[in-house]
Amino acid sequence: MAPTTISSLILFLFLLGSVATATVFTLQNSCTQPIWIGTVSGNGAALLNSGGRLSIPFGSSIQLTAPAGWSGSFWARTGCNFDSSGIGKCAIGDCVGGLKCTGGGVPPATVVNFTIGTASNNKDFYDVSVVDGYNVGIGVKAEGGTGDCKYAGCIADLNRYCPKELQVIDNSGSVVACKSACAAFKTADFCCTDDHSTAKSCNPTEYSKLFKSACPSAYSYAYDDTSTTQTCSNSNYTIAFCPVIVG
């Protein structure tokens, strides 16, 4: 093989290796009810699933593909009722836009956040947050990636441990979600605002400690330990809603 041909092949392989590939999210519903996935994107990134137009019946899953550099969030919406035009609402996790979310979910809702790597930096960042409260468990598993790639999530049923003052109760009397202390009391110390708006002045509370004890790998308040953010490279991800319950 001629030297120029070898050089061209090496260059091609180098460029091929530097191209970031798309990331596939497999979203599984193990809840005992249908869920509508709410999703928003950040930094002008592509909107996946039209913001949440597809529902997932119990025991089923859907796949969504995100381009390199995508960032955004997913959460489960429950108790939803939409007409043929997509007009309607959800009892828990509702969002601006109706069927297709154009803004974030209404707390309380458990949220999973992602920032997908690029060709120049292929490291992904992901975390599960109960900062805005909890509705269903979420577990995130990296598939086929390299690096730490740790499991992330909140798989304990926080609705079982939710203090009465934070409970969201449906018409049957069941606890269907657990508010954050910020949403319940709207004070600066619980919301990490005003004089409590820095990592030094915003401390964990009795409520965030309860959430952290049940879900140690999830963000429990605004300035939670950064170890709750996981990293992985060149991975796909399985996001399970209502995974196996512990505790």
Which pLDDT value is given to residue 247? Answer: 42
Tally of domains in the chain: 1
* Domain annotation covers residue 72: yes
In a domain, 12, yes or no: no
Decide if 183 is inside a domain: yes
**41 falls within a domain:** yes
Q: Which pLDDT score is estimated for 20?
A: 55
Residue 18 lies in a domain: no
Q: Check which CATH number belongs to the domain holding 35 and give it.
A: 2.60.110.10
Sign of the alpha-carbon torsion through 61, 99, 51, 92: negative
87-125 pLDDT per residue, tens:
899 999 999 888 888 888 899 999 999 999 998 899 999
Q: How much is the pLDDT for 11? A: 41
- Please write down the HEC assignment for all residues of the chain: CCHHHHHHHHHHHHHHHHCCCCEEEEEEECCCCCEEEEEEECCCCCCHHHHCCCEECCCCEEEEEECCCCEEEEEEEEEEEECCCCCEEEEECCECCCCCCCCCECCCCCEEEEECCCCCCCEEEEEEECCCCECCCEEEEEECCECCCCCEEECECHHHHCCHHHEEECCCCCEEEECCHHHHHCCHHHHCCHHHCCCCCCCCCHHHHHHHHHCCCCECCCCCCHHHCEEEECCEEEEEECCCCEC
Q: What was the pLDDT predicted at 15?
A: 41
What's the pLDDT tens digit per position in 136-149?
Answer: 999 999 999 999 99
Q: Is residue 13 part of a domain?
A: no
Query: What's this model's pTM, rounded to 2 decimal places?
Result: 0.86
Q: Return all residues near 174 (Cβ < 8 A) that are at least 6 apart.
A: none
The mean pLDDT values, 10 residues at a time, for the chain of 247 residues are 46 43 93 92 81 84 93 94 88 89 90 93 95 96 94 93 95 94 94 91 93 92 86 96 71
pLDDT of residue 103: 84
In a domain, 169, yes or no: yes
Is residue 3 situated within a structural domain?
no
Domain of 49, in residue numbers? 23-241
